[in-house]
Amino acid sequence: MRDKLIAAGVKNLHEFGYPACTKDNILTDMIYSRFFVSMLKDNKGHSKEVDEAIDELIAVCDKPVETEGKKKGKK
């Protein structure tokens, strides 16, 4: 289910004019992930299985991305 939702999100973002969006960056790119979260929220309520997958993907998108400096313990 997760992979199907990601594939649909990538397809939608391509149609909206974001051809560089891929399954690898849709969850981590700030712009792509915001659009994807909005799409996911619009699709909640279809089934328990879909809602669980949507909630997991939203949590991944909402997780702060560490910058290189923070990874090395710098402020």
Tens digit of pLDDT for each residue in 1-51? Answer: 999 999 999 999 999 999 999 999 999 999 999 999 999 999 999 899 999
Assign 74 a pLDDT band (cuts: 50, 70, 90): low
pLDDT for residue 70 is more than 60: no
Say whether pTM exceeds 0.75.
Answer: yes
b/e sequence 6-37, b meaning 16+ C-beta within 10 Å? beebbeebeeeebeebeeeebbebeebbebbb
Residue 64: what pLDDT? 75
Query: Which comes out higher in pLDDT, residue 4 or 65?
Result: 4
Alpha-carbon gap, residue 56 to 71, rounded angstroms: 24
